[in-house]
A and B are shown apart, each in its own frame.
Chain A
Amino acid sequence: MHIMEGFLPFRHALAWTAASAPFLAFGLASVSRHLRAHPQQRMLLGVSCAFAFLLSALKLPSVTGSCSHPTGVGLGALLFGPVAMVPVGFVVLLFQALLMAHGGLTTLGANVFSMAIVGPFTAYGVFRLGCALGLGRSGAVFMAACLGDLATYVTTSFQLALAFPDPVGGTWVSFEKFAGIFALTQLPLAITEGLLTVLVVNAMAQFNAHELRLMPVLAYPRRSAP
């Protein structure tokens, strides 16, 4: 669930767009460089895109009695690095903003920042941390996708809180309110995203071992599976 069209004051919209634009340019360059160097990984990039498309189309019910959707960008962040997922998230968000009135063009910058920048970078960071702490591959992938998803919606809440501070309690009270709506709803969905990402990574490990060898997911030395 993204920030709705027109629901960020002009200056905020502009600032978030300016913050996201360099990541997008860098991401595009990084993806095309990567594909030129490893053309055999095109299909896995396609799968990462497809995963983001699929998951962000699924509005799932949550314990708060409202619906939201996962983001699906964690998978690609682990495979191709977080920057590569910026253009992917951008395409998903643009598609939804243009055709479905979900999110919006004026809020595109802010939504790209939360879903295509904070999400993938968190996922990647958590994955590296998980590996360093000795979690197995599945555990680290699960934590990464799950927390990346959650971080996206915490960021959305923060963006809204900055734009609409509570008249009495200020930004923090506002943040609690928006986080209660977005982040709380997202909890079970984040777990779902984590589980689905583990499923896909397991399938890739089984069928695409050759391509995976060059990617962060398998870049760390695997311990013998328990």
Chain B
Amino acid sequence: MSRKTWMLLAAVVLLTVLPLLWSATPGAEHATAADGAGERFEGADARAQRAITQIAPHYQPWFRPVLEPSSNEIASLLFALQAAFGAGVIGYWLGFSRARAAQHRDD
């Protein structure tokens, strides 16, 4: 891999890790004022849900999810499966393409 690739990967890792360190105060300034105190690093959709109940306190969701993962563990299992599927296909393509390119060079 080229140096540029490594630098891009390092930037991706930093962008993911730094927020964990930087927004160290629970909930950060954003959660407290705008939409009530929430857990650290909860989903943005949970925050939006709270903002909705603030704006329209009487709003009743009129439909329930068909299937709800029975626990957080099951939910993360499904998300992991989704990511594994994606990563698997991308890995297959990269391996296949590299091997094909190497073969072309040998011929």
Contacts and interface: CB of A to CB of B under 8 A. Distances in A.
Given A4-B45, A164-B59, A181-B51, A95 B69 contact: no
Interface stretch (A21-29, A45-53, A76-84): A45-53
A46 B62 contact: no
A167 B90 contact: no
Contacts of A100: 69, 75, 78-79
Given A49-B89, A59-B43, A177-B51, A10 B16 contact: no
Given A60-B16, A61-B20, A46 B93 contact: yes
A62 B19 contact: yes
A105 B43 contact: no
A74 interface: no
Contact of B12 (A5, A64, A165, A196): A196
Interface string B39-63: 0111111111101100110010111
Nearest to A161: B55
Interface stretch (A117-125, A127-135, A202-210, A215-223): A202-210
Contacts of A4: 45, 48-49, 61
B63 A177 contact: no
Interface residues of B, number: 65
B43 A66 contact: yes
Which range contains the number of A residues in contact with the other chain? 35 or more
A98 B31 contact: no
Contact of A101 (B68, B86, B90): B68
Contact of B41 (A65, A101, A106, A186): A65
A63 interface: yes
Contacts of B79: 57, 59, 100
B19 A7 contact: no
Contact of B89 (A50, A165, A178, A198): A50
Contact of B30 (A46, A59, A65): A65
A160 B23 contact: no
B63 A105 contact: yes
A202 B90 CA distance: 14
Interface of B: 4-5, 8-9, 11-12, 15-16, 18-20, 22-23, 25-28, 30-31, 34-35, 38, 40-49, 51-52, 55-56, 59, 61-69, 75, 78-80, 82-83, 85-90, 93-94, 96-98, 100-101
27 contacts: A1-B43, A1-B45, A9-B59, A46-B89, A47-B89, A50-B89, A53-B85, A53-B86, A56-B82, A61-B23, A63-B22, A64-B31, A65-B26, A66-B47, A68-B43, A68-B45, A72-B86, A106-B62, A164-B56, A180-B30, A185-B44, A195-B8, A196-B12, A198-B8, A199-B9, A200-B90, A207-B98
